[in-house]
Structure 1
Amino acid sequence: MEVNTNSTDKLKKYFQINSEKFEETLLSEAINVRDKIDEILRIGNIDLVNNAHKLIGYIIEGLDQELLAFAKQEGIAWATHSIPLSFKLEWIHAIRRTLWDLIKNFDELTEKNIKEEFFRLEKQINTRVDVFLNAFFINYSTYKDTLITKQKELVENLSVPIIPINPSICILPLIGSMDSFRVEIIEEKVLSEIGKLRIDTLIMDLSGIADMEEDVIFGLMKIIDSISLMGCKVVITGFRKDLVKNITKLGIKFSPQTHTLGTLQQALHTYLLPGFAYSSLSSK
């Protein structure tokens, strides 16, 4: 049940008149946040004080749709800029306390005492603050999950940069550390791209990989065999000394369909040179 319109209008007007008092009390309540207001404005273009006034207006006037839309906007903004949630919690709870502090003064000053409507007012205001917080966190979490998923996909794509050279030849330059997780990503991405792009020859350059653990080496060999099974020629370039030693020590031998060259430049020269016969690789 809503507080009558007359009381709502009076309360709204009271807050407008006492906006400076509201800000002063709010900043005294939000001890940790007040020193971060300028930083949050700079990082996320989020005006905490102005938004507090906006939130109070939605709550007092019972503008529930606007309240939910505002919570969504705030949730996405805080998630986008990774602003600590502890600040948001402290700020909202400070707004709640400040709101009730001014309502107490309003109750003492108003011509018509609103004590008979207090419980209805309490339920409305606290419920709306909780609705805002709930919608804020739902939208924060949802958007944050979306960002994490997109970042993960970006990392996966960057970790397997398949570069087309012509319609049938692609390069896969591998750089940085290799672990089992990355090997799984490479396997999934490479086999998928071979089928989609109909790659005839994949040049896998390992010059950016210094060394690998045994399980990673076996995983990479599995990928190379899988590529060959899909009818794609595999050319490996850029083996470093330590990696060659480990592969030799493990007794791993490449299949006849897999060829090696010293450098990526040699592979590009070989495969992009007109009229060069693929079979001649076996004699190199």
Structure 2
Amino acid sequence: MTGPNRSFLNTERDGAEVVKQTDNSQDNHNLTINRLAAVGEISAGIAHEIRNPLTAVKGFLQLMAQDYPSEHWDVVLSELDQAIGTVQELLSVAKPNLDSERPRYFSLCAEVENLLSLFHKEMYRVSVEKRFYNTDIKMYGKRNQIKKAMFNLLKNAFEAINGTGTISIEHFRSGDSLVLKIRDSGVGIPEDKLQLLGTPFFSMKDTGTGLGLSQVYSTFYQHGGDIKVNSSPEGTEFTISMPIETKNALDSLEAQLVFTEGQDVKSFFNTNHDQFIRSLESEARTTFEIVSESKIVTTDDLREHANQILDFVHDGLTQEIIRLAQERGVVWAQSDIPIISKMEWFYSLRKVIWRFLRFYHLHNGVEAEEAFEIADRITSTLDSFIIHFNVSFTRYRDNVLKSQQAIIDELNVPVIPLFNNVAVFPLIGSLDHARVRKVEERLLDEIEARNIQKLFIDLSGAAILDTETLTEFHQIIDGITLLGCTTVLTGIRAGMAKMMLRSKFSTENVTIESTLQQALLKESQRDTSVL
């Protein structure tokens, strides 16, 4: 499929209002570059003046917290972490920590798809429309820097939409440029604020620092790209144009590896161990960044597991690699890191191993049969690790979900005994067929076991979804009556009352009170008068 033609690109869709455009002339491009350069100079000066003292203060406060317990330490340390993080984020804009990353070819479409999976929790309110053309075109650059910039753009797009809305993403080739458009149906950006985009500490969000968008501008400008922003009250559109470049043949993995004549494959990997780990960190940069914020899984764990897997692969220790996979599956399931991050690490590990094997094959002159044997052994071992990791991860998560469901089921029928065989049953949340069945199973047993003679069912926090469910609920009341227990309904709202009228809900076996408080007051007065 060919990309959009020029008339399509310049035509406003659906009769929408003509949007306001930023002036992306060379002067404004240079202005943004100068802003970022100024931030770089400032950041270099404050790096040791602010970050190091803050880190030292944090360390001493942690020591003090051990000797002087207080409920306020968590707040103090949290605020200090936020200050340190802001300084670090400012430094990363001026001097990106990915500068050592090697440029490579990669698919921009594939990276967008991977990043969208991180926003799956937002998909219930925001629909994403993708129009990808010229998907065979690959760009050349520092993939992880670009991924981080695109993540910031997508994050801003989702956050710009209050309630429901739409994000559209276009990818196509235009001349010698690869173009990516991200448009949201959010609140838009005022015209007088457009020129400030990309300036550190300017943000349209109440709690924003503006550093995310500064990283976007810095990254794409460093890659020779251009950014245009269109905005109106109906939404904002970012258009990024990146040059389609050719790879420098000298900038390759082979130029950095060392091979000794007659070396076997395990020795080759050991000799180039440091380069292997650096390549893995670069390839799976997003995973390493996410894991760096976890307290259960660490970046050292990722490196150590890569080393262990390599040793097991070379030594043919299948059972050991299965045991490692099962152990790591449980640990990873205990963390809050998404499984997609571990998948990225798996695929990055496989990709780097194959790169090294290719180099080894080319320089060692091994026969094709031997090369295929090595490849088959490594592929089988990695597949075994991935399968057992996923099984262990899924089993642990399923058990956790079952435990949580058991707690939820218990809370679904919270019968609260009061006095003289009187109890309260507060119904909270939506009532559907499945939940009514669960209530029926447990509630009648509770009434019999506790010998409850009067039950107050409070409906002030409940929502009955349909008349069929209401009929099933009425059958529960009939069951309560058959057990010799009196039912008192409280907290019926107008909407539920209308549904009861439409379904001809019978109040023959129940007493109605407006509120639970009023009903319990009457019951206590009646009980006192009896005494």
TM tier, shorter chain? 0.7 to 0.9
Are 1:194 and 2:442 an aligned pair?
no
Deviation digits for residues 34-83 of structure 1 (CA, Å, limit 9, x no counterpart): 12312123245243333222322232233333312221122233434454
Q: Unpaired runs of 5+ in structure 2?
A: 1-262
2:458 match: 205
Match of 1:87 in 2: 341
For the aligned residues, what is the CA RMSD? 3.4
Distance 1:102 1:252 in 2: 74
One-letter amino acid of the structure 2 residue matched with residue 261 of structure 1: E
Q: Which one of the candidate residues 26, 35, 47 is aligned to 2:286?
A: 35
Give the match for residue 79 of structure 2: none
Q: Output the CA distance in 1 between the equivalents of 2:420 and 2:366.
A: 81
Q: 1:132 aligns with which of 385, 403, 416?
A: 385
Report the CA distance between 1:21 and its aligned residue: 0.8
Q: Which runs of no fewer than 5 residues in structure 1 stay unpaired?
A: 1-8, 278-284
1:60 maps to a residue whose letter is: H
Q: 2:513 touches 2:519 (CA, 8 Å); kept in 1?
A: yes
Indicate the SS of the match to 1:42. coil
| Aligned residue in 2 for 1:122 | 375
- Which residue type is aligned with residue 71 of structure 1? A
Matches within 5 A, 1:42-121: 42-43=293-294, 44-47=296-299, 48-81=302-335, 83-103=337-357, 105=359, 118-121=371-374
Query: Does the 8 Å contact 2:432/2:464 carry over to 1?
Result: no
Indicate the SS of the match to 1:206: strand
Number of the residue aligned with 1:268: 520
Listed one character per residue, the Cα deviations across residues 183-211 of structure 1 (whole Å, up to 9, x for unaligned) are: 22322231233344443332211122366
CA displacement at 1:19 relative to structure 2: 1.9
Residue 221 of structure 1: CA displacement? Answer: 0.8
TM-score by length of 2: 0.44
Bigger RCO of structures 1 and 2 (CA < 8 A, at least 6 apart): 1
Q: Distance in 2 between matches of 1:97 and 1:231?
A: 70
Partner of 2:511: 259
The structure-2 alpha-carbon separation of the partners of 1:228 and 1:27, relative to structure 1 and needing over 3 Å to count, comes to same
Give the CA deviation at 1:214.
1.9
1:273-284 correspondence runs (5 A) = 274=527
Moved over 6 A (4+): 107-110, 112-116
Alignment partners' CA distance in 2, 1:115 and 1:210: 68
Q: Per residue, is there more strand in 1 or in 2?
A: 2
Deviates more, 1:198-207 or 1:147-156: 147-156
Contact 2:464 2:470 in 1 (8 A): no
Percent identity between the aligned chains?
A: 29
Contact 1:12 1:60 (C-alpha < 8 Å) held by counterparts: yes
The question of whether the paired residues in 1 share the 8 Å contact of 2:281 and 2:288 is answered with: no
What corresponds to 2:503 in structure 1?
250
Q: 1:268 to 1:62 in 2, by over 3 A?
A: farther
* 1:215 equivalent in structure 2: 468
Secondary structure of the structure 1 residue equivalent to 2:418: strand
Distance (Å, rounded) in 2 between the aligned partners of 1:194 and 1:172: 11
Aligned length: 265
